């Protein structure tokens, strides 16, 4: 394990020292590592500016560099998801967290962190009781209790033992559209994840808009579990009850190269609606599985509005405002 850890650390330090260009992404920096090795690396290293992915075989990749466009969209979505809190700051019913460590679904306990994780406050849905500690063993010259992996628990928890996020967001600038879709599809394998919002921001075009900003293609995709399928929604193969809906909301349509009609705020065709109740989905456990028959989540008092409404024109504008137009 120590040799694996040192190899991963050496590879990451090399990236930091030499710099990393977008054309080199995704970049693999670890091969077939144990969960303990990966945990130790992320516990001992601050990794601001980089987004990682760990596959089910323990391979570690840098998949994204968090530039100003990525950061600005993250901040805007955070504001949107906090609106139903009605201005409450401490003990707000809805918690929005950046890069919150979770378990990769069907990933053998390997970590994965979405850009945003939206979950209920602990005073609404408390932490599930932790399992018994495993026997002590030696690690880095010390005798410690190994951290128990909780990736198979029901109800599920994040890496810190808190209730699993119910809504997640993934933002891709360097990552490809296909990789973004695969990651969002994977999150939906966890039943407690009710919605995933994926935002793909493509490279700048050579043309400019009327204000002199480079044109850009952008696509939003929403994965959800609606009670009934809507006309625009597409069923996700191998995931019963999961559907996607897609919006082309950049200045240029990715598929035909024409200007989009996403030219002002408050246009219904460019708004994404997510029911706030999804954050509080917490069915009773019967026989070790969630019992969803006739279950409806209860929205706590103090939640100001019934829906998150995300205006894609606002996202388009913060991307254009934060890109380099020189």
What are the DSSP calls for 48-77, one per residue?
TTEEEEE-TTS-EEEEEE--HHHHHHHHHH
Residue positions counted in the chain:
326
Q: How confident is the model at residue 136, as a pLDDT?
A: 66
| 164 neighbors 193 (Cβ within 8 angstroms) | yes
Q: How far apart are CA 143 and CA 141, in angstroms?
A: 7
Q: How confident is the model at residue 119, as a pLDDT?
A: 97
Q: How far apart are CA 103 and CA 112, in angstroms?
A: 6
Q: How confident is the model at residue 129, as a pLDDT?
A: 85
Which three-class secondary structure state does DSSP give residue 172? strand
Mean pLDDT by 10 residues, the chain (326 residues): 66 80 84 84 74 86 88 97 94 94 89 95 92 66 65 91 97 94 96 98 95 97 95 95 98 95 98 98 93 93 94 98 94
CA nearest 309: which of 263, 257, 274, 282? 274
| 242 neighbors 188 (Cβ within 8 angstroms) | yes
DSSP-derived pairing of the beta strands 195-208 and 167-172: parallel
Number of helices and strands (H, E) in the chain?
Answer: 5, 18
Q: How confident is the model at residue 148, as a pLDDT?
A: 63
Q: Kindly state the DSSP code that residue 40 receives in the 8-state scheme.
A: H
Q: How confident is the model at residue 114, as a pLDDT?
A: 95
Q: How confident is the model at residue 141, as a pLDDT?
A: 62
Q: How confident is the model at residue 325, as a pLDDT?
A: 93
Q: For the whole model, what pTM was predicted?
A: 0.89
């Amino acid at each position: 394990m120590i040799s694996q850890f040192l190899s991963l650390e050496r590879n990451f330090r090399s990236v930091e020292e030499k710099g990393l260009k977008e054309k080199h992404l995704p970049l693999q920096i670890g091969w077939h590592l144990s969960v303990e090795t990966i945990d130790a690396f992320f516990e001992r290293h601050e990794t601001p500016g980089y987004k990682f992915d760990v596959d089910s075989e323990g391979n570690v990749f840098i998949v994204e560099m968090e530039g100003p466009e990525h950061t600005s969209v993250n901040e805007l979505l955070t504001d949107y998801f906090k609106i139903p809190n009605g201005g409450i700051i401490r003990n707000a019913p809805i918690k929005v967290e950046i890069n919150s460590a979770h378990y990769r679904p069907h990933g053998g306990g390997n970590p994965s962190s979405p850009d945003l994780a939206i979950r209920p406050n602990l005073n609404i849905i408390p932490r599930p009781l932790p399992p018994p500690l495993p026997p002590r063993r030696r690690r880095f010259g010390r005798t410690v209790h190994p951290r128990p992996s909780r990736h198979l628990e029901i109800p599920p928890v994040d890496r810190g033992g808190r209730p699993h996020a119910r809504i997640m967001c993934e933002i891709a600038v360097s990552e490809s559209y296909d990789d973004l879709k695969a990651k969002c599809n994977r999150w939906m394998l966890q039943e407690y994840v009710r919605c995933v919002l994926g935002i793909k921001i493509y490279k700048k075009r050579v043309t400019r808009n009327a204000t002199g900003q480079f044109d850009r293609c952008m696509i939003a995709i929403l994965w959800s579990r609606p009670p009934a399928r809507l006309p625009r929604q597409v069923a996700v193969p191998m995931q019963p009850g999961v559907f996607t809906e897609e919006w082309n909301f950049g200045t240029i349509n990715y598929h035909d190269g024409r200007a989009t009609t996403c030219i002002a705020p408050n246009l219904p065709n460019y708004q994404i609606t997510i029911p706030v109740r999804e954050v509080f989905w917490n069915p009773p456990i019967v026989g070790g599985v969630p019992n969803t028959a006739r279950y409806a989540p209860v929205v706590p008092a103090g939640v100001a509005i019934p829906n998150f409404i995300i205006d894609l024109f606002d996202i388009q504008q913060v991307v254009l405002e934060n890109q380099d137009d020189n």
